[in-house]
Amino acid sequence: MARAYNFSPGPAALPEPVLRQAQADMLEFGDAGASVVEISHRGPEFLEVARRTEADLRTLLSIPDDYAVIFTAGGATTIQALLPLNFAAAGQPVDYVLTGHWGKTAMKQAASGCDARIAASSEAGGFRDLPSRSAWMLSAGAAYVHVTANETIHGVEWREIPDAGNAPLIADFSSSIASEPLDVSRFGAIYAGAQKNLGPVGIATLIVRRDLLECAGQPRAPVFDYRAQLEAESMLNTPPTWNWYMLGLTVKWMLDEGGVAEFAVRNARKAALLYAAIDGSGGFYRNEVAVAARSRMNVPFFLHDAALDAAFLSEAKQAGLVGLKGHRVLGGMRASIYNAMPEAGVQALTDFMREFQKAHG
């Protein structure tokens, strides 16, 4: 069986070496005498997986010692709902900078637990650009300011860390974490669902400055309390062990490949190649995002005639290129080119795009 180049936005492509290692460990994990999905999360074999995964993630992202790392089930959306319960007092304002669909989702999830306010939004322009920092209207006494580092659907990305003023900056890095070096110390917390750059769906990670965990927050069950989760080493309840193990394999693969500095170079080349193919098509393809705000991870694009969309997707699949259908919010096409997407895959896509244009232009 020949594997296709998978441009899906998430669940997304995983590195083939990771999949092969997981395949081997599925039946029997080390000397455990059982599959990695069967062993106890309290047993020595899995506790070593958990310890090594955190250590490797700290190395990969250069996480300072004064930041805690928590692994959670439920994905980034669950974290979005729990942020105000852990870090905001009842009625305290929380500021959201909206740059796309997932920023709006983050605010919606948090709204029941705080006074969620829009500090800035680019929605009036169709989320094709980032709001100017000078236009932000930050609230006095805000518990934190929330941004979405990269919008998976609309294809916009913060290329510089914005200034959040006096409040801690919290960012959803689900679709761009570990894609380039990041100064974690600029944030109160960052979080990410794993299913784009870190591993499979079903697990997320929260990297939070330890002093923020001292916030009283609001009444919540222990399972929703990040202080309790940290104290229990992310095992207050039975964690998604397979997903955690896969996340660990993916992080180890990234380290072996050269770490975030190497992936920054690769990702810049991949994005430049794809945007050049779009911009150089004479209008056959178009990307509507402001050039300075273009995402390196998710590239939405449109054909000049939407009637060609079905043919494009069908012929792309025949060429071994899958996962290119755009999100229903925007339509068109979208190529997600996360760390696991090799440069050869982007080259194959751009070659196909040129051939398709010759045949249908």
Catalytic residue among 104, 196, 252, 270: 196
Catalytic residue among 25, 56, 95, 102: 102
Supply the angle between the helices 259-279 and 241-256 in degrees, to the nearest 10.
90
Quote the Cα angle for 39-44-45, to 5°.
55
Q: What sign does the dihedral 256-260-261-267 (CA atoms) show? A: positive
- What percent of the chain is helix, strand and coil (3-state, nearest 5)? 40, 15, 40
Strand partners, 11: none
Contact 350, 273 (CB under 8 A): yes
Integer Cα distance of 136 and 196 in angstroms: 29
Contact 191, 206 (CB under 8 A): yes
Integer Cα distance of 142 and 167 in angstroms: 6
196 catalytic per annotation: yes
Catalytic residue among 25, 56, 172, 225: 172
User: What are the residue numbers of the active site?
Assistant: 102, 172, 196
